[in-house]
Each structure stands twice: as structure tokens, then as C-alpha cells.
């Protein structure tokens, strides 16, 4: 099948061809015709399979062909994403595929001055891509109008629920016209997503191109059992002996990411870290250097688990397994994208065996275990506790595993851990009234010198995810 049989306009086909795509992915071939018909959709597909183009292309066509009032532009399509980086990448897709259409798009998110966004909104926008927190900031300041939205897209809906955005989503829904087209897309497909869909979608078409929570078939997965103190040595050995030139390595904590970078540099391997404590400039440089090949290893916390789109990234290494199994799917989804093959390796010590079992239970498959000669685990070693871990490390509350992170993990400078006020406090956390927000996420400047706290869920989200939203993203307008 080619894109030409999906009913897309000549302008969109031209833009797609210029991107080098000739055949749609399964999610695109199934979703595009449904969306073009104006029907609601519940779409689930593995990360890296083209979900964004699957809703962007038909959305652009419907807006371009549907009649609308002449004169000042108003927001006709609203795309909500959980993180800044995802918002920027979605808007980039809108810009790329809509380059030959007379439609204007804008992306808005927190952590940057609100004034340029207000100015852009005043000039008129057809398609708005936003994170929920900053969107509600604009609503409070009456700088945008959502009363004429024709199409609503919830992208990465599972992550929005995981980050505690459900209240903000409900606030946004109350501002939209009842008659509209709703598109809900998600990389994982949980029962909570189905519950959200039941209250949001009108007789939706279900598009599920792979069983829920599976990892891409083109990704080769393997576990290397190794002692915790020999992980760095094994990683350096694999990079050097195999001459890997581009490796994305995942850690659980910011401190661990910094330490591993220093150790790799000592081993003669160029490395850079990307996490919530890094400045926007530093993160921009690290990612750019990695993409250009001047840095061989990018060490990241889970801020990079979703949204990073690196062409033909060959290797992803889980130096530490995530304590939330769904994050494993999104981590390894950074490779094997757009039909390319990829390799995902996990260095697993005895402390992480229960994390591994949770992951295998989620993806419904056993990951092959291969012991690297010379790095055989010491059978006499005992498991050690991991903060917010469980099993052999001691039981922790479920809410601590799903919303918390190891102490100090992936939070911006000066932040304290948060807990959901509707749940018991995780160990070591403080009541909500004793907690602070970050300077970046507090900033909501109107005159360029006044900062007030924002009350949105984007700031109230679990600490593990707040750093993720601090990745740099360039404000784009067409």
C-alpha cells in the first residue's frame, strides 16, 4: 500500500514524499481513513511506529477542506501532549506535513516566557499543540479561546494519566464544544485508557496494530546478567570492542547519569548526560552533539524515554532497569524506529531481578539472558535495597513504585519529592503544603518580571516526570 490510496491531498502527498516516505505504517494505513471520515478513534501502537503522522496528516486535510469563517483565525484543532519535548516534536510534524497548506500552527508549554505565546495566539492560530499546564495558564489569563475547536487529539494519553493530568484534561474538556472529533492515541493501552476513552469518545473505532504494551518486533532484546559493580566495565568493553558509535544509555537517577559519564570519559569514550538538573542550553548541546556523532554515548534518565526521535539509533542500553515496567517499553522504543532494526541491551544485577520479572510479565515474553564471558555474576552476592523498590529489597507501596523515584532522581534543582494528595505519602516524602515547585515551572511571567506559581497538574505531576518536561524545545510558528 502507498500513501496515494489513503485519500490524502496532493499537497500532503508531496510533503510526505519529501520526507522520504512511500508506504504508510500499519497504524497510519488503518487510522488515516477513519479520521478522514470524521469518526472518533482510539489508536494504540508501539512507540516509533508513526502514530504522530497517523493523526497529523488526516487532521491537516480535514481542516484544509472543511469550511470555516473568513477573517481572524481561531483554534480549530487542539493537540494535548504530556511533555514539552513531545509537544515540540508534534508541532514540527504539523509544520513539516502542512508546509503546502495555508494553516498556522503554534506550540505552547511551560518553563518559558509566556509573552511570545500570547503574541502568537493574538495573531491567530489554526492548530495548537500544548501541554495541559501551560494551556490552562493561558485559559486563566484569557489569552485563548477553545470554544470553536473542531478536533481534539490526546497524544500519549497513558503518560498523561500516569503524570496525574486527568483533572487538567477534564478542565480542558469542559471548555470545548460538545460537537467535535476526538482522537486518542497511546503507546501503551491500559484499562485506565479504556475508561478515559469511554467518557471521551463517541462510538470510536479501535485501531490496535499490536497487542497492548508490546515492544517493537524489529528490536532485538537481550539481558546480560552482571554484578552491580562491574556494569561500567562491561558497558565500556562492549562499546569499545564492538566500535559502537551511537549508544543511548538509561539510568534511574541524575547523579548516576553524571557519574557514569565521568567514568566513560575516563575510559576514553566520549559521553554526555541529559537529565532534569541540566540547563536547557546544556541539554540542547548534549542532544545535538549526540545526533551529530561528536559524542558516542548519551546517558539519560527517563526524561528521554519518550519523545526522543533519533534517526537510525542502533543501540539502547538499560544500565539500570526502570522500576516502572511500562518505561522499559518506551526506553527501548528509541531504537528500531520507522522500520529500522535496533538493539536493546539490559545490564541486570541481582538487585533488579523483580524489576525484570515485571517487565517480562508486561510484554508477555521472556527476554533472552546471555552471560558475557569474563563477567559471570558472583552467586554469593546478595540483593541490596533500591529506593522505592520491592521484592527482595523490601516491599514498598504501589503508589511509591508508580509515581515516585529514587531520592533525588531526575528532579530539577531545589525540588522536593511530591506525592499525590489523594494517596498516602510515600516513604520520605512530605505533605503537599510543605513541598515546593521549581523555579522553571513556577515562572508564568506576564510583564517579563513577575512570577507566580502555576496550579496546573504539569507542576503537580510526580517528580520523576517533572524533569522530563524541562527538556529544551524551540517555540515554532508557521
51-65 and 84-97 helices, crossing angle to 10°: 50
First and final C-alpha spacing in the chain: 31
pLDDT of res. 29: 93
Q: How would you classify the pairing of strands 151-154 and 271-274?
A: unpaired
Phi, psi of 128 (to 5 degrees): -115, 125
Mean pLDDT along residues 425-430? 38
Element (H or E) spanning 208, and its range?
Answer: strand 205-208
pLDDT for 330:
78
d(CA 89, CA 103): 17
Instruction: Name the grid cell of 226.
Output: 552482571
124 dihedral zone (left: phi>0; alpha: psi -120 to 50; beta)? left
The model's pLDDT over 207-263, given as tens digits with 9 standing for 90+, comes to: 887 554 454 556 889 999 999 999 999 999 999 999 999 999 999 999 999 999 999
Beta bridge partners of 184: 42, 154
Question: Where along the chain do its domains lie?
Answer: 3-208, 219-363, 393-448
| pLDDT, tens digit (0-9, with 9 covering 90-100), for 258-271 | 999 999 999 999 99
What is the structure's pLDDT at 171? Answer: 94
The confidence score (pLDDT) of residue 298 equals: 93
Are 261 and 273 in contact by the 8 Å Cβ rule? The answer is yes
CATH 3.40.50.2000 matches 219-363: no
pLDDT score of 394: 34
Q: Is the pLDDT of residue 1 over 80?
A: no
Q: In angstroms, rounded to a whole number, what is the distance separating the alpha carbons of residues 183 and 152?
A: 6
**Where residue 324 falls among pLDDT bands split at 50, 70, 90?**
confident
Mean pLDDT of 450-475: 39
Output the pLDDT for position 67: 72
pLDDT, one tens digit per residue, over 300-309 is 988 655 556 6
Of 106-115, 149-158, 187-196, 382-391, give the lowest mean pLDDT range.
382-391
What whole-number distance in Å separates Cα of residue 467 and Cα of residue 252? 12
**Beta bridge partner(s), residue 346:** 223, 318
Assigned CATH for 3-208:
3.40.50.300
CA 220, 85, 361: angle at the middle one, nearest 5?
35
Q: How many CB atoms lie under 10 A from the CB of residue 123?
A: 11
Tens of pLDDT, residues 91-132: 999 999 999 999 999 999 887 899 999 999 999 999 999 999
* pLDDT of 165 higher than 60: yes
- Separation CA 427–CA 400 (nearest Å): 8
Average pLDDT, integer, range 447-470 = 39
Share of the chain above pLDDT 90, in %: 48
Q: Give the pLDDT of residue 229.
A: 95
**Position 379 pLDDT exceeds 60:** yes
The answer, yes or no, to whether residue 409 has pLDDT greater than 90, is no
User: What is the per-residue pLDDT for 332?
Assistant: 84
So what's the pLDDT on residue 194?
78
The rounded distance, in Å, linking the Cα atoms of 52 and 337 is 13
The answer to whether domain 3-208 and domain 219-363 are alike in fold is yes
**Is the confidence at residue 154, as pLDDT, over 60?**
yes
- The rounded mean pLDDT for the chain is 78
- Decide which of 71 and 347 is more confident: 347
* Better-predicted residue by pLDDT, 94 or 364: 94
Strands 77-80 and 271-274 come out as unpaired
Q: Which region among 70-74, 163-167, 378-382 has the lowest average model confidence (pLDDT)? A: 70-74
Amino acid at each position: 500500500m502507498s500513501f496515494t490510496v489513503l485519500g490524502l491531498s496532493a499537497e500532503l502527498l508531496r510533503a510526505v514524499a519529501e520526507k522520504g516516505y512511500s508506504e504508510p505504517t500499519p497504524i497510519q494505513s488503518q487510522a488515516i481513513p477513519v479520521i478522514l471520515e470524521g469518526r472518533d478513534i482510539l489508536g494504540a501502537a508501539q512507540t516509533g511506529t508513526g502514530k504522530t503522522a497517523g493523526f497529523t496528516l488526516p487532521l491537516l486535510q480535514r481542516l484544509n477542506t472543511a469550511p470555516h469563517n473568513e477573517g481572524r483565525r481561531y483554534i480549530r484543532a487542539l493537540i494535548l501532549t504530556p511533555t514539552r519535548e513531545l509537544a515540540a516534536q508534534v508541532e514540527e510534524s504539523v509544520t513539516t506535513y502542512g508546509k503546502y497548506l495555508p494553516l498556522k500552527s503554534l506550540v505552547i508549554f511551560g518553563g518559558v516566557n509566556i509573552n511570545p505565546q500570547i503574541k502568537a495566539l493574538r495573531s491567530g492560530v489554526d492548530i495548537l499543540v500544548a501541554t495541559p499546564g501551560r494551556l490552562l495558564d493561558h485559559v486563566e489569563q484569557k489569552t485563548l479561546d477553545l470554544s470553536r475547536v473542531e478536533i481534539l487529539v490526546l497524544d500519549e494519553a497513558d503518560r498523561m494519566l500516569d503524570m496525574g493530568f486527568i483533572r487538567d484534561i477534564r478542565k480542558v474538556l469542559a471548555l470545548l464544544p460538545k460537537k467535535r472529533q476526538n482522537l486518542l492515541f497511546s503507546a501503551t493501552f491500559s484499562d485506565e485508557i479504556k475508561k478515559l476513552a469511554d467518557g471521551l469518545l463517541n462510538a470510536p473505532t479501535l485501531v490496535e496494530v499490536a497487542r497492548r504494551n508490546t515492544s517493537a518486533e524489529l528490536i532485538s532484546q537481550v539481558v546480560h546478567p552482571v554484578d552491580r559493580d562491574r556494569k561500567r566495565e562491561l558497558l565500556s568493553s562492549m562499546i569499545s570492542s564492538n566500535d559502537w558509535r551511537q549508544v543511548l544509555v538509561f539510568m534511574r537517577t541524575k547523579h548516576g547519569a553524571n557519574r557514569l559519564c565521568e567514568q566513560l570519559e575516563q575510559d576514553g569514550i566520549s559521553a554526555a548526560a541529559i537529565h532534569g538538573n541540566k540547563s536547557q542550553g546544556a541539554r540542547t548541546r548534549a542532544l545535538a552533539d549526540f545526533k551529530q556523532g561528536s559524542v558516542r554515548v548519551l546517558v539519560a534518565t527517563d526524561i528521554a524515554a519518550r519523545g526522543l526521535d533519533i534517526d537510525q539509533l542502533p543501540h539502547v542500553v538499560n544500565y539500570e532497569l526502570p522500576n516502572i515496567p511500562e518505561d522499559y517499553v518506551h526506553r527501548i522504543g528509541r531504537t528500531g524506529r520507522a522500520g529500522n532494526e535496533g538493539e536493546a541491551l539490559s545490564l541486570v544485577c541481582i538487585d533488579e531481578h523483580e524489576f525484570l520479572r515485571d517487565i517480562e510479565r508486561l510484554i508477555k515474553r521472556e527476554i533472552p539472558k546471555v552471560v558475557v564471558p569474563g563477567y559471570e555474576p558472583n552467586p554469593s552476592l546478595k540483593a541490596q535495597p533500591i529506593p522505592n523498590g520491592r521484592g527482595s529489597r523490601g516491599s514498598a507501596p504501589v503508589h511509591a513504585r508508580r509515581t515516585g523515584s529514587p531520592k533525588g532522581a531526575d528532579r530539577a534543582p531545589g525540588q522536593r519529592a511530591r506525592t499525590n494528595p489523594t494517596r498516602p505519602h510515600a516513604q520520605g516524602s512530605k505533605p503537599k503544603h510543605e513541598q515546593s515547585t521549581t523555579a522553571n515551572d513556577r515562572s508564568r511571567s506576564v510583564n517579563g518580571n513577575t512570577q507566580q506559581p502555576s496550579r496546573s497538574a504539569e507542576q503537580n505531576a510526580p517528580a520523576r516526570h517533572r524533569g522530563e518536561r524541562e527538556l529544551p524545545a524551540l517555540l515554532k510558528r508557521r
